[in-house]
Chains A and B, each alone.
Chain A
Amino acid sequence: MNEGGTIAVGRESGRLAPALMAEYGGLTRAALDRYLDRRGICDFLRDLASDYPRRGGRMMRPAICIAAARAFGAHPEDAVATAAAIELLHNALLVHDDIEDASLERRGRPTLHRLHGVPLALNAGDALALMSLTPLFENRARLGMALTMRLLEETARTAAECADGQALELGWRDRNVLDLAPADYLEMALKKTCWLAVIHPLRAGVLIATRGAADPDVYVRFGFLAGAAFQIQDDLLNLVGNESYGKERDGDLWEGKRTLILIRLLASATAAERERIAAVLASSRERRTEADVRWMRRLIDRYGCIDYARRVAHGLAGAALHEFSRQFAELPDSRDKRFLEELPRWVIERA
């Protein structure tokens, strides 16, 4: 951080993150293919389980894992299996989340359950979750038993946090909970998103490189702040994103998700407006009308909720950079270190 309290960003800013995600994403995809193309699996499973992974995500999670490992001195191959496990688990949860949220689109195409029905999609999600264990067990050969166990523990913790966060969000919608504050949203995002998106890949990479010697809790703050900024940006893109966003426009409003934007709207609206919002959110998605959603969308603009959420995301990204300067300062300069430094900025700039 320089004297003016601002954060210096390298000359490569904005270019390094996509480049490294492409590079490490390529390594991970090659590994994924080995797990997804197992012989002896019937088409009803193989084709469905490989659908989301092959739709081409950005591979942020595996890239963070490999970059963290490399920044701390490991060979990239040490981290590829764990990165593949993270991506498999991520895709498993996407399939399940899409069913639970009744989402229509994922990565620019209809969701898996819309294409094949809920039972087959659910089974494919289960299979992906189980497949994610395979590379973790394969770590035994390269990383040894103690570190393999440690990474399995880390994965179990992450899965538990994700499930807890998803339960919070689903519960709020199911019970039509409206009395929510930004702290509630941040806690939900911490569990539902940040653990698997940033915290776990980062911790896993550091543990791999230090052979389990580092205290991974040190990196939770950075991971949370960057991950929360990532989630808020995702919520924003749902309302204002372009076609490359890949999900249903205004889908979060149709699904009644308790985003920071909606929480801000509920806090800003008049009593009458709040009553109508509550009624809209209380109804099922099928009963919600285009007019309801458009009305809420206009209110969001009128009360500056998008601007508010964007500024909070920037604030969290700034805080993440501050944490980076505290926790990673002693690492020698490297492309991977610079990638991690660039990450908070990338998550709020992505379209």
Chain B
Amino acid sequence: MSANDRFRRPDPVRAAPLRAWSTLVRPGGAPEPENDHSGNGRRVSNVSVDGGASASTSAPDAEIADAVATAYRVVDRHLSAGREAARALGRTSAEAEGAAARGVDRADNGGFAALGAGLEEMIGEAARAFAGMMPAFAAMMDALARPPYAGFGALIGENGISSFRQNPEAAPGPNFAIEVASVRPARVMLDLAPGADPATLVTTGLHAMEAGRPPITEVAFIPGGVGERPVLSVRVPVTAAPGIYAGAIVDRKNGEPQGALSVKVGE
């Protein structure tokens, strides 16, 4: 072969995906692949969990592949119906996705009362519907009557250096300044357990909700000096696609979860 000849790979042995669904998850202790129903002792398939193997696509396997395809059709139809119903109610999936963010905005603008208006209304309806329905209802109302737990108070930061507390009523945790470097609009939400030590916090990276997107890894917790606030620094890569990136925060001393961090990268 001369240097100018094009290199040609041999044709692949297999030109179609393996679709032996019935034996894709063969338990370790399960019997060998079953015979088919014709009684001729032919094997249905020999794909196993433990090793790559060849697969024959006999009639019974086609039947199982068909059942799996049917399952996909059923669930996809179900999802479409759900989206249609949401649209009919004037609430698209995208809007639903932003529900929490809206909640934050409403909390910022209108406070607790505005955020809870829908819930209060629903509680009223529930009260009317279940009135007289025994102590379980009383217990439920008891739960509602209790004051809010003064727990996590998420901190929010946006492009540049800023931070404000999502729920001012919550117990104050470490009061970070949040430094966000991003060419796109980005909103960072830091939700930390009370008592978390800024000096020992780490995150394993912020992962996109959509598979296949690279995570945001340039995240650092910088302890503050005397009289200074600690800083959370998040650098969003120029190439980061719009979407939500989220990850856990752990204490590097013991690996215990200490909270969550999410970044919403806008268009």
Contact = CB atoms under 8 A, between A and B. Distances in A.
Interface residues of B, number: 100
B8 interface: no
Contacts of B193: 75
Interface in A307-323: 307-308, 311-312, 314-319, 321
Contacts of A225: 71, 75
A314 B22 contact: yes
Contact of A40 (B34, B78, B135): B135
A145 B34 contact: no
A74 interface: yes
B226 interface: no
A236 to B, nearest CB: 13
A74 B135 contact: no
B119 A316 contact: no
Among B73, B204, B248, which residue has the most Cβ atoms of chain A within 10 A? Answer: B248
A311 B27 CA distance: 12
A35 B139 CA distance: 8
Contact of A2 (B52, B143, B152, B246): B52
B65 interface: yes
A332 B207 CA distance: 8
B49 interface: yes
Interface residues of A, number: 81
A4 B47 contact: yes
B103 A73 contact: no
Nearest to B101: A213
A241 interface: no
A316 B143 contact: no
B246 A330 contact: no
Nearest to B167: A144
B101 A314 contact: no
A314 B26 contact: yes
B37 interface: yes
Nearest to B152: A142
B213 interface: yes
Interface of A: 2-9, 13-14, 35, 38, 40-41, 45, 70, 72-75, 126-127, 130-131, 133-135, 137-138, 140-142, 144-150, 152, 182-183, 186-187, 190, 209-215, 217-218, 220-221, 224-225, 228, 304, 307-308, 311-312, 314-319, 321, 326-327, 329-332, 344-345, 348-349
